[in-house]
A = this chain, B = another copy of it.
Amino acid sequence: MALADERGLGAVSMRSVAELVGVTPMALYPHVGSKAALLDGMVGRLLGQLVAEPGPTAPDPPAAPWRERLGTLARGVRQMAVRHPWAAGLLFSRPAVASGSMRTVDLIFAALLEAGIPPAEVPRLERMVSSFILGHVASEAGGRFGPLTQDLRDERYRHRGQELPAHARLDDVLETTVDWDAEFEANLDDLALMIEAVADRARG
C-alpha cells in the first residue's frame, strides 16, 4: 500500500514488494498466493479501515440521523480515494458482498430502512447509492472530472453551435471553476432528496 500510494499502482509488482520486504519475489507466494490476491487484500484492508472504530473515519453513533450517517460514510469513501487513488478503480471488481464490504453495506441498509424505504427496495437502493458514491469518487480519482485543457476548450467552442447545442446555452456557466468539496456535498443532498422521494412514493 505504501508503494501504491507513493509511486502508483503500476509500481506494485511482486518484485518491488519483495525488495521492500527484503526477500526474493518467490518468497511472497506462500504468504499472499498471487498478485491478484495481494491487490484484493489491499482493498479489503482499506474497506476494513473505513468502518473501523476508532479510525480516520469513525462512523457516527448509531443514534445520529440517517442522513448524517450516510454523509459520514460517503465522505469517508471519498477521503479514502483521495489518500489512495489506486483503490477507486479496484472497488468495481470486488464483490460488494465480500467480507470487508459487508459492514459498509450494512450501514447503508440501516440508513435506508430508517429513511422509510420498504425492505423490498433496500438492496436495490443500496446498490444505487454505492454505485453513485463509487462512480463519483472514481471519476475524481481517475481524472474523468478534469482537466479542461485549452485544446479541448477550443474544440468545444468550435462545435458549440450545431453539434453541442446545449453547451451553447450554458456558455457562461461552463466557465466557472468548480469547488469539488461543495459539489460532493450538494450531490449528497440530492441523493438524500431522492431517498426521501422514494420513501414518500412507497408511503403512497
Residue numbers of A with Cβ under 8 A of B are 88-89, 91-99, 102-103, 105-107, 109-110, 113, 119-120, 122-125, 127-128, 130-136, 138-139, 141-148, 152, 155-156, 159, 163-167, 169-170, 173-174, 178, 183, 186-187, 190-191, 193-194, 197-198, 201
Contact = CB atoms under 8 A, between A and B. Distances in A.
Nearest to A129: B132
B97 A156 contact: yes
Contact of A152 (B99, B148, B152): B99
A143 B95 CA distance: 6
B183 A120 contact: no
Given A89-B89, A119-B169, A135-B136, 5 more contacts: A92-B141, A97-B156, A102-B159, A119-B170, A130-B139
A83 to B, nearest CB: 17
A163 B103 contact: yes
B139 A138 contact: no
19 contacts: A92-B135, A92-B139, A95-B146, A97-B152, A98-B152, A106-B164, A106-B166, A110-B166, A119-B170, A123-B170, A123-B174, A123-B178, A127-B139, A131-B136, A134-B135, A134-B139, A190-B194, A191-B194, A193-B198
Given A88-B92, A95-B144, A95-B146, A173 B123 contact: yes
A144 B96 contact: yes
Contacts of A146: 95, 97
A138 B136 contact: no
Contact of A169 (B98, B113, B159, B194): B113
